[in-house]
Chains A and B, each alone.
Chain A
Amino acid sequence: MDMHFINHRSHARPAALRWLILSLACGFVACDRPPPAPLVPPKPAAAAAPEAAPAPATPIPADVRATPSPAVSTPAPSSSTAPSGSSSTPALKTPLAQVLAKADPAGDPSWTTEQFSEDAGAQLNKLLLPCWASTGAEIPPDLLAPDFKTTALMPELVPTFKDAAFAISRPGSLPSDLTFTGEAGLQAALEPARRAFSDTTHPFRGKIKVVRVEPGQDGRPWSTLAYFEASRGPRQHNAEWQCTWHAGQDGAKPLLASITLLRFEEVVATPPAAGPAAPLFADCTEAVLGQNPAWSSQLIRGANHWHGNLDVAFGIHQGNQGVSLADANGDGLTDVYLCQPDGLPNRFFLQQADGTLRDFSQESGLDILDISRSALFIDLDNDGDADCVLAHRFSVSILQNDGAARFSLVRTMATESRVSGLSAADYDHDGDLDFYVCGYSPMSQTSPEDIFANPVPYEDANNGAFNYLYRNESNLEFTDATTTSGLNQNNTRFSFCSAWEDFDNDGDQDLYVANDFGRNNLYQNNLIPSGKATFTDVAARLGVEDIAASMSVDWADADNDGSMDLYVANMWSSAGNRIAFQQQFKPGSNEETRNLIQRHARGNSFFKNISGQSFQDASETSGLTMGRWAWGSNFIDLNNDGWEDIYVANGFMSAPDTGDL
């Protein structure tokens, strides 16, 4: 999800007015009225008090004076406009926003289970994790309960997969008995893992994340579900543990009572030819880009640097800038275009014969300073070179290539939406490429500056912006075909990205749209031979609405059954998981809302296409949900075995200094 609400305050109405409007939104009566008039007996009839305790106006009987009715109460501006809390906190009053607030380290500390999760996580990470890789390490005191017991933690493994690069092993069967007891038992249970990690060429690294927590009740222990990941260079262990705990008394840390292994996997990568310590993927960024001043002055730096060097009018840099790979000068080598945030020029680099890049931004005419999200390099006029479609600010621009990667602006199409991703297809089979642009947030009707609308309702927001289908009319002219093609259905979401594919194998291009804060779209193309293409949104019918905060979409035949499967990147939130699955979360909320919120925190989705007729949600069975706060999530066959692997770029906003989870 995009943190679109961070910035709105600097643009919008004066803070005071905004506060007033917010309180108005939650009820002129309920919010600002003083405590209800004492018509309702406070003690005996407390249960019968009006729900929201709005003072039910003046009682007629005793109040014989005409004027003092508090029907319209005195507002309490100073208390209702406490400034500190409103300065930077998003004003969303929606369920997931509350979840997110809880997830925020400075969030509400009163949520005891969150405190417990933090304590349990600290116990696991600080005390237990270091024992995983160091043979002979003492089990620290203050970790285990006296009655601690565990299943085997690294049971007998059997090879599941092996090729030249990867060997994957998983348990033949999961141990179900808690056969290891006490400290000695834990030592014994750790022994196989320690043997596996005994080669100390590489540093040990690991992380345990608590993803579910249920409080212990009636003296029963607390229970947590934890994801475990540890590695030494090419060897990696992944596991899932059910832990029980005795809650600490008086601020003491909880004590681990048991671990039950639910899943285990060992990965051993074969080092590349470069040597045993070399990584499978080598970061050659500096070698490719380093000779360009733009690298060391611009691209090596992150958003935080620019936040300190640009007027805030340029916006808060959320990093949603795309990369485009295409041969722009026809030399057979693929070139690179990088979109950049407002006030920084987009960068265009030509690939040289030696595989390095040369900055050609200025010469190309593509050194555009306007905030840009994405670009496509496609041959729009079928003249043999790649023209450029650029999504920037509230518009899409068409730039024509002269064949030598010098681009000139042909036209700019203004949209009512803050634009995001682009994808192209010849949807009507007329021989030229059309394109679809996602709109994220709408330009406000009332105030052009108030561009950030809050998604409402958060978990299923339908107040986003229009997406546009631009039909190629030749001569680099485009018409808005959104409505005539039927793509105006369900077209008010917060859309990030889209991708075309013939999912139903009928020869025409269908379109999947990934939307933040809610349902996605799968538009099935009903192209008829005359060339008239109309679309129907079949996402709900085919079960791929994937209600979540979606950031991206990719297609590939991942199971090699002849139809294209779907991978959708969403927000996986450990805090969201912990909280949304607890019994106490949103008590009184209906099951449907609760499911929606849980679904929101589930993470990425993998939908297997069944013969182009239906989709099967294989996200969990395929182990593909936990992409964290996922953005670009692409199918890439990393080992050339003909089976599509997946790479997920993730992380929302890192602070410059301290590490977050």
Chain B
Amino acid sequence: MIREGRGFSGHERNCTFLNLAGQDQRFANVSSATSLDFDDDGRSVASIDWDSDGDLDIWVTNRTGPAVRYLRNDTPSTHPSLSFDLRGTTANRNAVGARVELYQGKNGTTRRIKSVRAGHGHLAQSSLHVPFGLGTAGPASHVIVKWPGGSAEKFPLPATGTQFQLVQGSGFAAPVAPRPAVPVLTPSTVTPPEESDAGRIVLLRPAPVPDLVVTTASGETTALAPISPTPAKPLLINLWATWCAPCLKEMTEWTSAQDRLKAAGLDIVSISVDDQTDPAARLAAVTATLAKIGYPFRTAFPDENLIARLESLQRSFIGRQSALPVPSSFLIDSRGRLAVIYRGPVAVDQLLADLTLLDQPLDKILTGAVPFPGRWLGQPKPTEARSVAIKFLNRGLIGEAETYVRRLSAWQSAHPGVFSGQERSDLQNYLGAVLYDQNKFQEALTAWNEYIQQVPGDRATLIDMARAWTALKQPVEAAAALRQALRMKRDDVDLLAQLGRSLMAAGDPSGFREAASLFREAMELQPSRVLRFELAQALGLSGRCQEAIAELRAILTATPGWPPATNNLAWLLATGPDASLRDGPEAVRLATSVRNPEIIFTLGTLSAAYAEAGQFDDALQTIREAIAIEQARPTSEYLKDFQTMQASYEARQPHRDPRLAGGQGS
């Protein structure tokens, strides 16, 4: 959001609250009256009597410009003030943590307390000097300092003087000579420079460019920075337009400096972004403009994807997200990697300087990447090349992401040793992800298989693979991936349930038994009606009808009438293999309660219940109704089953579901 230049609780005005000296508990909001209500994104506040005039001035830092303000306190005040500088001897020398009690007024009846503090507010350190405003409480007679780790010590105060040093153990408030008067500084309104779209961004780590294809004036297409193991000349890809004055100025400068640029080995290709609705007119305008400049470098026209690719490319590395301005240029190193982005014109000297950054190690690049010199205690972590793919993805260009990841792969083969092993395998992982996002599940699995052999412990990818297998309706493989993921972390309800479902889908009776125990394990972690329902299903299909019935009854005790459980319980009671578990009348009652011709199998369930209860005429009538509905449908899911059932009823036989016999029965 911020990168896209939008605000969030911005332009808020700083607040100032005035303590009404006990006149009223409620502080007064004097934010505007003090003129301290800047609308900066304020952060760190520290106070100090900067100009030694006896009142507290403010330093404040901001996220917005200016990054810091010094605000001089000109508040008219008739109140005197005192300031103490403490020095510990047995206590820490700064006396941080010392409590200073100031006694004022007749017989020292008014007490004010302060502490020496190092670090407060937001990331701030205020002056270690301890200031006291005296208000109307009268002159101060003495202070008592409670030294950290030491005892309390009294310092009588002389009648005159405003600044004192209090040395631990001295008992003497040593006057500090007032600072010679400082010239009164002139206030001003700070106006940060207008923000511009221009910028120069040195990539901490160069990134291979996407496929960039251009057409020359004569109509030939050329790939810029093709992947090749042989180093090429550094290339500046420049976007310009005939109507863009800064472009022409920049190109004219390059033309004047062509000898220096060519001597430095730089190849430049200027790509026109002029309106292409009339190619002939565009060609004419471009040709005329270039001739006028006498432009000595290569020129070309973009193919349809070039601008979008460069756009994504720059957004991958720049904190502030905005469209590419014209002119913009991209400095490509000898291996086809983007090294520097220039939004706006770039001067010849800057270009020449930046050429020296190409193919350099990070510490060298770092010195060129920052706007001011300084020293590093550590190092920032460079943005990885794959972020370009991420940027494509984030912009909804999944196909582009795939193309780029494939190009990275090819680039890595042409330049072995540049990417680390982890990056290489990561690429496969990314490739899998972008393929998956395009529903190319088989290809995704190919990439992920390669990746997972390198990184067998990536649980997230194993789960992704299971999803891909599932999408391909290959539950056995999905189950294998899930098993592997579960080996890393067993207490994951979703995975346990998912593996259970994969096994159920695979349809292998031994899988049903395992599924049942998985559902049970998941339920122990997090009980849920749905899991219990699935458990009952797995139990039923494993031939454990009694347990299945018990689970379904438990669901219905907790949630009476829940249709899925009602239907399935009726089915078990009507069609199960064990006569002692069957109960025709109850099955009829249950199945009747969920009968719904729109949900066709509820008719199947009801018919089976009637048959079990010996009501074969009802069974037949119901199943015929079901068959009629199924036949009217474009695709009939249950027709064959219904016809089998009808045949049984016609033979005055109840229906038996062979699957409920489990592994043993059928």
Contact = CB atoms under 8 A, between A and B. Distances in A.
Contacts of A219: none
Most buried by B among A86, A229, A271, A559: A229
A652 B8 contact: yes
Contacts of A449: 381
A380 to B, nearest CB: 9
A365 B377 CA distance: 11
A478 interface: no
Contact of B65 (A302, A554, A636): A302
Secondary structure type dominating chain A contacts: loop
A567 B611 CA distance: 78
A164 B78 contact: yes
A632 interface: yes
Contact of A57 (B68, B438, B504): B504
Given A57-B501, A305-B65, A502-B97, A395 B377 contact: yes
A560 B322 CA distance: 53
Nearest to A351: B50
A294 B66 CA distance: 12
Looking at chain A, what size class is its interface with the partner chain?
35 or more
Given A83-B396, A639-B75, A6 B3 contact: yes
Interface stretch (B187-195, B209-217, B228-236, B349-357): B187-195
A549 to B, nearest CB: 11
A319 B608 contact: no
Contacts of B376: 368-370
A354 interface: yes
A78 B437 contact: yes
Interface in B33-89: 33-36, 39-48, 50-51, 54-56, 58-81, 88
B243 interface: no
Nearest to B126: A325
Given A61-B575, A69-B507, A634-B46, A382 B92 contact: yes
B420 interface: no
A325 B641 contact: no
Given A14-B434, A509-B97, A633 B185 contact: no
A660 B11 contact: yes
B450 to A, nearest CB: 15
Contact of A323 (B16, B46, B478): B46
Interface string B436-457: 1111000000000000000000
B568 A61 contact: yes
Contacts of B500: 71
Contacts of A649: 14, 40, 42-45, 60-62, 122
A637 to B, nearest CB: 4
Looking at chain B, what size class is its interface with the partner chain?
35 or more
A375 B394 contact: no
B456 to A, nearest CB: 15
A39 B19 CA distance: 68
Interface stretch (A111-119, A177-185, A310-318): A310-318
Contacts of B122: 320, 322, 421, 496-497, 551-552, 569, 631-633, 649
B33 A166 contact: yes
B92 A431 contact: yes
A564 B115 contact: yes
Interface stretch (B293-301, B365-373, B577-585): B365-373
A573 B9 contact: yes
Interface stretch (A20-28, A122-130, A460-468, A536-544): A20-28
B439 A557 contact: no
B38 to A, nearest CB: 8
A430 to B, nearest CB: 7
A439 to B, nearest CB: 14
Most buried by B among A38, A166, A375, A636: A636
Nearest to B197: A308
Contact of A654 (B10, B189, B495): B10
A402 B335 CA distance: 47
Interface string B156-200: 000000000000000000000001101101111110110111111
A14 B390 contact: yes
B123 A497 contact: yes
Most buried by A among B35, B44, B370, B660: B44
B148 A425 contact: yes
Contacts of A654: 7, 10-11, 39-41, 63-64
A248 interface: no
B22 A643 contact: yes
A42 B598 contact: yes
A636 B33 contact: no
Interface in A626-641: 626-634, 636-641
A276 B291 CA distance: 64
A528 interface: no
A501 interface: yes
Interface stretch (B249-257, B259-267, B268-276, B460-468): B460-468
A558 to B, nearest CB: 6
Interface in A264-280: 265, 267-274, 278-280
Contacts of A265: 28-29
A504 to B, nearest CB: 12
B433 A636 contact: no
Contacts of B562: 48
B310 interface: no
B77 A163 contact: yes
Given A89-B1, A285-B70, 6 more contacts: A75-B467, A86-B394, A164-B76, A165-B77, A268-B33, A305-B193
9 contacts: A229-B29, A283-B190, A302-B66, A430-B149, A431-B92, A560-B22, A564-B113, A623-B27, A653-B7
